[in-house]
Structure 1
């Protein structure tokens, strides 16, 4: 006998009151267009990674950790609020019966919309400051060639940069000749690069 989840494709998503709830494709498209390709990929990967039972939905815990992977460490009440406002009754829930909050599930489209809203509300300088900390391996407030070498060693083969390329990156951003890039230089450089790329 097939598990009720196996037939989920034939079901219409329903809200917590058992009503049909089909996401608006145009709305999802509009939301998607505000994201960079890298952000879309990050969101998709977070959903896939934390959909641990591979049912195509995120429960409360999966939602919490999926958002955490994207850099949003939200308090439990906030995550629960997002679940109750954006969640749907899963296909295996009895139709026309109210679905209690903890049993609600988040679809890919809902996760995308939640993540997009959170990303849009971020302060770009704060985001770049967090990125700086990832590169500043020894925490001395300056990204040096050695820091870049360490980060570079963790990247898969074929996408790594040469020492010469990394030294050039440092030289272009190091405005005071200190042999590395400080936080403000890094943030200014990244903002300028985003403007050149048109976002």
Structure 2
């Protein structure tokens, strides 16, 4: 999940708050999640959100909880690639991981280096966690 700016979150909340009450109902939130492809039951959502409606602060907290959960999943994936556990994915580590997953049959070392170059924002020749998140959210691997 890519991060959404606070301004965009405010716009989203206001668009859900049809009656301008400063609150959105769980059913309105459920409808939004369904529209963007997140399948959950209303009952599951109600266990996650203990109230019948949310104010903007509640909405932000829920977004942050979902984003943090996604970051934890990405961190676990990052650690699979970061074989030497130095906090970076090198060309060799990426090539090794992609080979194990069966994606390297037609890719050369230069292909992997080019892949790293595309996502290596600070041009240090390795992928850090933030760059990895960008790579995964854009479908780079």
Q: Same fold (TM over 0.5)?
A: no
Shorter-chain TM-score bucket reads 0.3 to 0.5
Q: From the CA coordinates, give the structure whose radius of gyration is larger.
A: 1
Q: Give the TM-score, by structure 2 length.
A: 0.44
Q: Give the TM-score, by structure 1 length.
A: 0.33
